Amino acid sequence: MESNHYDIVIVGGGPAGSTCGAVLRTYNKELSVLIIERENFPRDHVGESQLPPIQRVLEEIGVWDKVEAAQFPIKIGASYTWGMTTEPWEFEFLPLSEVKQEQRPAAYEGWRKKTAFQVDRAIYDKILLDHAEELGCEVWQGRRVAKVHHDNDEITKLELDDGTTVSATHYVDASGNAAVIRRGMGVKIDTSSKLQNVAFWDYWDGVDLNADLFGHGVTRVQVRSLPNGWIWYIPLSNTRASVGFVCPASYYKEQKKSPKELYLQALEAEPRVASLLTHAKGHEKIESTTDWSFLAERACGKNWTLTGETMGFADPVLAAGLTLTHYAARHCAYALLEQFRGEHDREWLWDQYEKIQVKRVKQHMRFAEYWYSANGCFEDLREFCQEIAGDAGLNLSPAKAFQWLSNGGLDDFPGEAVLGGFNVPGIKQVQWRLTGEDSKVEYTIRGKNVFKLNLAGATKEDLAHLENGRIHRRASYKKGNFVLPLVGHYEVLVEALEQTSDLEKLVQKIAEIYTEKLGAPASGTLVNETLALLEPLANNYFVTCSVNKKRPTLNIESPKEGEYIYSTSQREPSATDQ
C-alpha cells in the first residue's frame, strides 16, 4: 500500500480541520498539509447558528466572500423565553437601527462585522473544505483512519481502512465526536459538568416557512424554554429550519418514550414553535446526541494536537460551538506555523494553546451552567453555583454565588471582555432577565470615582497573542483564575490606570491613548467599552474602588430595556421579525 509523508496531517474536514488547514496555507505556502475526511461532502451536520467573531476568521483565510455569496441568513441575535421573566426577550449583536438595507453579496465591512450567519452546514462545510484545498491542502474525502500507530506518546503513522498509511511531522485531530487521535492515544475526557443533557433534532421544510422571522434583511435564532428543557429553532432559509429539543438525560430516561415521541411532544408544547411548524414537514429522521459538555484531559502530545470539538465542547444554549471550533483551529495552526519557524520554545507554544483554549471552553461551560440555573428543570444548579465560586476561592451563599457568576472573568478573546456574544453591560442585563423582576443588578464600580490599579499578589507571565500569522509574547497578570492580558482594550485601560486613578482624568487618558494609536479621535463608544472593563477588574481584585466626595462619580447601569437586550413587546412596530 502507498505510504505518504506530510508536514501536517489533519484528521477531519469539518470547520476545525478546514480552518486549521486554510490558516496554515494562508501564511506558509511551503507546508505540505493533508486533510483526511471520512465522509463525502456535502453532508448535513448540526450546529448551524454562529456568533460574530467567526467572521474575522473567515475574512482572515479569504473565504468570507464565498460564504457571503451562499446567501446564508444574516443573524443579528436571538429571541428567548428564558429565566424568571415569562415574556419573550431579544438579544442583538447591534442595534436594529444600524442595519442597512443593501444588496447581497456584501463586503465584510461596517455593520456586517457585527453580525453572524445561520448556516446550512452541508453547504458551509463544503465551502470551507473546498477553500482549504484551493489554498493548497491535499484533501482525501470518503477515507477513514482505522488505526493510530504510536510509540508511547509519539504517533508514528496513521493507517486508513484501505490499508494506506500516512505519516507526518505533526498530527491534528479535528475529527469531532469521532475523536480518532484522542481515542487512539487513550486520552480520557472530563464530563464533570452538571449539564448532562441530550438533544434531538430534525430539519423542517415548508413554503414561506420562516417569512415571519425575517425583517430588515436579518433574522434571529429562536430559543424557547419548557418546564423540561428547551427548543432551538434556526431559520436556515425562507423555506428550511433546524429545530431541536434539549433536555436533561435523566428526564429522557424517566419518560420511557422514543426520541421521536419525546421530540414531537416538546414541539407541540411550545405555542410559538408549534405555530411556525403548522404547515411544515419534517424529514422524520430524528437525530440525537448526548454528553454535550466535556473537556479532554489534555490537548497536546509529543507530535499531535486536539482541536475543535475533539478537545472540548460546551452546551449549545449559547450557540458558541462553531466559534470555539474556529478559534481553537486557528490557534492550533498559528502554533504549528511558529513550531516550523522554530523561533519560539515549542513547549511554551503548546502550553499556551492548551491553557487558552481549555479556559475558553470552561468559561462557556460555566456561563451555560449559570444560564441553565435560571430554568425550572435545572434548579439544582443554583446550589452548584456555590461550588463553582468555591473553586475560585470564594465562600459565598448560593444566591450570592449565582450573582457572582455573571461578574467573573470575561475574556473569550484576550483583550476583550466578551463571553458568548455578551459584553459587560450585556451580562448585567442577562442577570436581571435570569433572576427576575425584583432582583438587583448592581455594578461594583457604580458610584465610585477613584480606581487604583492593584497588582499586589499577581504573577506575571507571557501570553500568546495571535496576529497576522505570528504569535507574539505579550505580558499578562494572573490572580486566581483571572488573567489580565495587556492587549486590546485591557492594555489601554491599564496604561491609563498607571497614570491616573481619578475618573475624569481616566476618561481623558483613555481617549488620548486611543487617538494616538488610531491616528483619529476616539469615539465615545470605544471609551465607554474600555471603561466598562473596570467592572471585571474590580470583581477580580485588580482594581480597588473608592469615592472622593468632592468629585463626580461613575454613573453606569444596564437598563432593563435597551438597544441590545429588550422585551419583544418593546420593539418598534415596523420591525415585524421575532
pLDDT (tens digit per residue) in 9-24: 999 999 999 999 999 9
Distance in angstroms (rounded) separating the CA atoms of residues 369 and 359: 15
Q: What is the mean pLDDT of the chain?
A: 86
Residue with cell 482594581: 543
Q: Is the predicted pLDDT of residue 459 greater than 70, yes or no? A: yes
Mean pLDDT in residue range 384-391? 56
For residue 177, what are the CA distances in angstroms to 45, 320, 470?
Answer: 12, 17, 30
Q: What percent of the chain has pLDDT over 70?
A: 84
What pLDDT is attached to residue 399? 52
Contact criterion met (CB below 8 Å) for 431 and 84: no
Sheet holding 459-467, edge to edge: 459-467, 470-479, 482-485
Second CATH level (architecture) for the domain 74-101+197-290+561-578: 2-Layer Sandwich (3.30)
User: Mean of the pLDDT values across residues 394-417?
Assistant: 50
Q: Would you say residue 437 has pLDDT above 60? A: no
Residue of 339, 464, 388, 285 lying closest to 24 (CA atoms): 339
The 10s digit of each residue's pLDDT in 495-518 is 999 999 999 999 999 999 999 998
Query: CB of 58 within 8 A of CB of 127?
Result: no
How many whole angstroms separate alpha carbon 209 and alpha carbon 426? Answer: 31
In the prediction, which pLDDT does 408 show?
42
Question: How many helices (H) does the chain have, and how many strands (E)?
Answer: 17, 27
End-to-end CA distance of the chain: 57
The model carries a pTM of: 0.88
Looking at residue 30, its pLDDT comes to 97
**Does position 323 have pLDDT exceeding 50, yes or no?**
yes
Q: For residue 79, which phi and psi values (nearest 5 degrees)?
A: -115, 130
Q: What is the pLDDT of residues 155-202, one digit of tens each?
A: 999 999 999 999 999 999 999 989 999 999 999 998 866 778 899 999
Asked if the model's pLDDT at residue 412 lies above 60, the reply is no
Helix (H) or strand (E) holding 452: strand 450-453
CATH superfamily of 3-72+118-188+293-359: FAD/NAD(P)-binding domain (3.50.50.60)
pLDDT for 91: 83
pLDDT digits (tens, 9 = 90+) for 336-359: 999 999 999 999 999 999 998 988
Q: What is the CA radius of gyration of the chain?
A: 24
Dihedrals phi, psi of 245, to nearest 5 degrees: -125, 130
DSSP, collapsed to helix, strand or coil, labels residue 71 as coil
Cβ pair 6, 340 in contact under 8 A: no
Phi (first) and psi of residue 62, to 5 degrees: 80, 25
Residue 412 in 3-state DSSP? coil
Which of 356 and 571 is assigned the larger pLDDT?
356
CA distance 310 to 327: 14
Nearest partner of 226 among 266, 254, 277, judged by Cα: 266
Residue ranges of the domains in the chain?
Answer: 3-72+118-188+293-359, 74-101+197-290+561-578, 361-442, 450-546
Is residue 352 within a helix (H) or strand (E), and if so which, with residue range? helix 346-372
Q: Using CB atoms within 10 A of its CB, is residue 89 exposed (0-12), middle (13-18) or buried (19+)?
A: buried
Strand segments (E) across 72-196: 74-81, 89-92, 116-117, 138-141, 145-151, 154-160, 165-173, 189-190
- The average pLDDT across 311-338 equals 91
Phi, psi of 545, deg, nearest 5: -115, 140
pLDDT for 270 beyond 90: yes
Position 426 scores a pLDDT of: 67
